[in-house]
Amino acid sequence: MNLTFLGTSAGSPTAQRNVSSMLLDLRQEQHGLWLFDCGESTQMQMQKAKFSLAKLEVIFLTHLHGDHLFGLPGVLTTRSLMQNQSPLTLIAPKGIKQFIETVIEISYSWLTYSLNIIELEQDRTVFEDERFRVEAKLLKHRVPCFGYRIIEKDLLAQLDIDKLKQDNIQVGSYYNDLKKGKTITLDDGRIIRAVDYQTKIKKGKKLAILGDTIPCQASITLASDVDLLVHEATQENALEDKAIERGHSTTVHAATIAKQANAKRLIMTHISPRYSLDDNNKLVNEARSVFANTEIATDFSTFTI
- Single out the segment in contact with Zn ion by CB under 5 A; choices: 34-42, 51-59, 61-69, 271-279: 61-69
65 or 253: whose CB is closer to Zn ion?
65
- Does 63 count as an annotated binding residue? yes
Set 67, 167, 177, 227: catalytic member:
67
Minimum Å gap between C-beta 305 and Zn ion is 23
Q: Determine if 37 is a binding residue for Zn ion (CB under 5 A).
A: no
- Does 67 count as an annotated binding residue? yes
Q: Which of 212, 236, 286, 299 binds Zn ion (CB under 5 A)?
A: 212
- Single out the segment in contact with Zn ion by CB under 5 A; choices: 80-88, 108-116, 124-132, 211-219: 211-219
- Does 68 count as an annotated binding residue? yes
- Does 270 count as an annotated binding residue? yes
Size of the site for Zn ion (CB under 5 A): 3
Q: Determine if 231 is a binding residue for Zn ion (CB under 5 A).
A: no
Q: How far apart are the first and last CA of the chain?
A: 6
Minimum Å gap between C-beta 214 and Zn ion is 11
Q: Is 67 a catalytic residue?
A: yes
Q: Determine if 65 is a binding residue for Zn ion (CB under 5 A).
A: yes
| Sequence ranges of the binding site for Zn(2+) | 63, 65, 67-68, 141, 212, 270
Binding residues (CB under 5 A) for Zn ion: these are 65, 67, 212
Residues that are catalytic: 67
